[in-house]
Each structure stands twice: as structure tokens, then as C-alpha cells.
């Protein structure tokens, strides 16, 4: 089993919590959003920084456990921008993908940190971003299992999104309780996991820290006897 935590740090405010969080939870992979990429360490409690975005100060980062995984190729993606991005605070890179090699199982897979357009954008734009992100992550390894976690900013009509994902061959998994608490009328489920080729055993919302987002813990595993690789194509999430 692999334990992944995804955490939106709310403009880096929750960065000081990471050491304790990784240690207490036995984290294998850590995916961050809204972290100050100029002020993050190379190592956190046995995890090594795989890569971080560079074009926007508050960006994405992925860490992986040094003793369990070898870090391979990484990929950062710029997605279609919302009006908010263009006018107020442009976010150039909204996906960071990493190819990891499991040393014990001798298998490769892809993990990605994702941060969708803010609530001022339409759900149709966020669906476009999800579709493009999943398609482009295939550049890291055609047919490899993919786990994309992060802040999807999709609090309403989640069932519709989940159905579209299933039709495209992916699974959208939500946590066991809400993950965002800052505004009364916008509280809900924002932080998800999207996967193909993985078994999601559990997703748990962890206690709130300094961020308005609560971290989520994803316990996932790869099939013991995989069949032929699942093709990561161009999912019809529209």
C-alpha cells in the first residue's frame, strides 16, 4: 500500500505542519498546492523533493519517500486560464506530474499534484483542465497507472463529474468528509483523487491545521497481478 497526502497550504501558511504530518502519518508521497516554491526544503522526514513548479511563486510540489521510490521524469503543465487567472493572479502551472519507480515491486507509476481554476471559473473550464491534465500525464509513461490528487475546486455537481470520469475510464474518489471550511456558503468537498490502474482503499480527511483546506490522506495500491496496461488516452471529460 502507498500512502499519499494532498494538502493545499493556503498561500504557504501551513508549511510548518509538514514535518509532523509526514512523520505521524507515515507518508510515502506528499503532493502540495499553494506552497512557496522558493521556500520549501529538499527533504521532509525521509521524503525527497521530486520537483516543484517555477513560473508562479505559489505553486505545486511533489515529495516521495527516498527508501521506497526512485524519482524519474517530471512534467509541469500550463492549462487553459480562467478570467481570474488572467486579470488578477495568473497561475501558469496547474499540474505537476512525477514518474516513480517502486523499488520493491519493480514497477513504475505516475503521481501528480493538481490545482484547478478558482471558483470564479465555470465547471466546464475545470473539466477541460482535468481532461488535458490526465491526457498529458501520459507523456511520462504510456499506459502506466496514474494517481492525480489535489484541489479540484469542484464543490457542486460532483456526481456529474464522477460519472463523466467513469465513462472515460477513470475513477474520481472523494474523501470521507468535507475538505474546505473557510466560507460558510462554500464549505464542502474540494480535494479529490483521480486514478486509473490504482485501487483506492480509503480517502480520509485529516484534522484542520492553518489552512482553509484540510489535508486528505489517500491509501492506494497497485493490482498484485496486473493485466495488460490500461491505455492512458484522451478521456472524454467534457
In this structure, are residues 112 and 137 in contact, taking their beta carbons and an 8 Å threshold? yes
Confidence at 189, pLDDT banded by 50, 70, 90: confident
CA dihedral defined by 11, 110, 165, 225, rounded to 10 degrees?
-140
For the chain, helix (H) and strand (E) counts, in that order, are 4, 13
In a domain, 130, yes or no: yes
In a domain, 236, yes or no: no
Could you tell me which residue, 109 or 225, shows the higher pLDDT?
A: 109
Residue 69's CB: how many other CB atoms inside 10 A?
24
Concatenating the DSSP letter of every residue in 203-220 gives EEEPPP-SSSBPPEEEEE
Could you tell me which residue, 235 or 57, shows the higher pLDDT?
A: 57
In tens, the pLDDT along 44-94 reads: 999 999 999 998 878 999 999 999 999 999 999 988 665 555 545 556 799
Total domain count for the chain? Answer: 1
pLDDT average, residue stretch 125-135:
93
| Paired residues of 188 in beta bridges | 180
In a domain, 188, yes or no: yes
Confidence at 226, pLDDT banded by 50, 70, 90: low
In a domain, 155, yes or no: yes
Average pLDDT, the chain: 89
Rounded to two decimals, the pTM is: 0.91
Confidence at 158, pLDDT banded by 50, 70, 90: confident
Confidence at 232, pLDDT banded by 50, 70, 90: very low
Question: Measured between alpha carbons, how far is 82 from 28 in angstroms, rounded to an integer?
Answer: 33
Residue 123's CB: how many other CB atoms inside 10 A?
18
Alpha helices in 26-122 (DSSP H): 83-87
| Paired residues of 149 in beta bridges | 113, 193
The domain of 53 spans 2-221
pLDDT of 229 reads: 46
pLDDT of 89 reads: 57
120, pLDDT greater than 90: no
231, pLDDT greater than 50: no
35, pLDDT greater than 50: yes
Least confident range of 106-110, 154-158, 221-225, 232-236: 232-236
In a domain, 168, yes or no: yes
> What spatial distance separates the first Cα and last Cα of the chain, rounded to whole Å?
32
Concatenating the DSSP letter of every residue in 111-180 gives EEEEE---TTS-HHHHHHHHHHHHHHHGGG-TT--EEEEEE----SSHHHHHHHHHHTT-EEEE-SS--B
pLDDT of 87 reads: 47
- Rg of the chain over CA atoms, in angstroms? 16
Find the CATH number of the domain harbouring 184: 3.60.10.10
In a domain, 40, yes or no: yes
pLDDT of 31 reads: 98
pLDDT average, residue stretch 114-118:
91
pLDDT of 15 reads: 98
In a domain, 226, yes or no: no
In a domain, 82, yes or no: yes
Amino acid at each position: 500500500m502507498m500512502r499519499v497526502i494532498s494538502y493545499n497550504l493556503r498561500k504557504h501558511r501551513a508549511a510548518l505542519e509538514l514535518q509532523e504530518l509526514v512523520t505521524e502519518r507515515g507518508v510515502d508521497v506528499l503532493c502540495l498546492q499553494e506552497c512557496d516554491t522558493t521556500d520549501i526544503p529538499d527533504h521532509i522526514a525521509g521524503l525527497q523533493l521530486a520537483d516543484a513548479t517555477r513560473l508562479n511563486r505559489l505553486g505545486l510540489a511533489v515529495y516521495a519517500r527516498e527508501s521506497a521510490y526512485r524519482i524519474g521524469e517530471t512534467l509541469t503543465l500550463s492549462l487553459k486560464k480562467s478570467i481570474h487567472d488572467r486579470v488578477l493572479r495568473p497561475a501558469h502551472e496547474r499540474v505537476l506530474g512525477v514518474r516513480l519507480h517502486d523499488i520493491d515491486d519493480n514497477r513504475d507509476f505516475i503521481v501528480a499534484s493538481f490545482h484547478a481554476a478558482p471558483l470564479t471559473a465555470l465547471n466546464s473550464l475545470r473539466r477541460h483542465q482535468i481532461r488535458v491534465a490526465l491526457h498529458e500525464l501520459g507523456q511520462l509513461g504510456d499506459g502506466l497507472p496514474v494517481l492525480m490528487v489535489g484541489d479540484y475546486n469542484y464543490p457542486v455537481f460532483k456526481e456529474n463529474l464522477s460519472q463523466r470520469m467513469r465513462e472515460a475510464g477513470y475513477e474520481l474518489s472523494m474523501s470521507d468528509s468535507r475538505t474546505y471550511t473557510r466560507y460558510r456558503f462554500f464549505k464542502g468537498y474540494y480535494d479529490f483523487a483521480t486514478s486509473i490502474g490504482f485501487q483506492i482503499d480509503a480517502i480520509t480527511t485529516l484534522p484542520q491545521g492553518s489552512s482553509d483546506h484540510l489535508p486528505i490522506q489517500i491509501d492506494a495500491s497497485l493490482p498484485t497481478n496486473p493485466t495488460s496496461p490500461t491505455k492512458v488516452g484522451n478521456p472524454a471529460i467534457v
